[in-house]
Amino acid sequence: MARPQQHLPRVPGRRRDARLFVVATEDTYAPKQYFGFFQNPRLHVQVLETAIGTAQDPRAVVNRLISFAEQYQIAGDDQLWVLLDTDHWIQERHKGGLIQAIEELGALVKGRV
């Protein structure tokens, strides 16, 4: 069962005081625990974990990040991160998908600069 989307509050014309870090990951539970330790009111970490039963490959993770960035019109001061277990994805049969995901991420970053 899909979890309901969380909406980030944005007030037009008003600048946010907190910096946003969006982390897309192939993991389901651990990253939220890792990044939940940040208790700084000027820093917000939004973890885009992989839902159970959905694709975990690098391209799926990057596409989830791209969709989030487009949907919420992520500002230039915010950070977009991808967290992958490279021990698995650098194996020969998976390298093509990892390289393609990195290229897609590069296009996103280039479009934001």
Structural domain boundaries in the chain: 19-112
How many degrees, rounded to 5, is the angle at CA 80 between CA 20 and CA 50?
A: 100
73: left (phi over 0), alpha (psi -120 to 50) or beta: left
Residue 38 confidence (pLDDT): 76
- Which phi and psi angles does 47 have, rounded to 5°? -95, 125
- Bigger pLDDT: 10 vs 45: 45
d(CA 72, CA 10): 9
Q: Is 32 helix (H, G, I), strand (E, B) or coil?
A: helix
Which pLDDT value is given to residue 68? 92
More confident residue, 2 or 44: 44
- Report the predicted TM-score, pTM, of the whole model to 2 decimal places: 0.70
**Rounded Cα gap, residues 42 and 91, in angstroms:** 39
At residue 16, the pLDDT reads 56
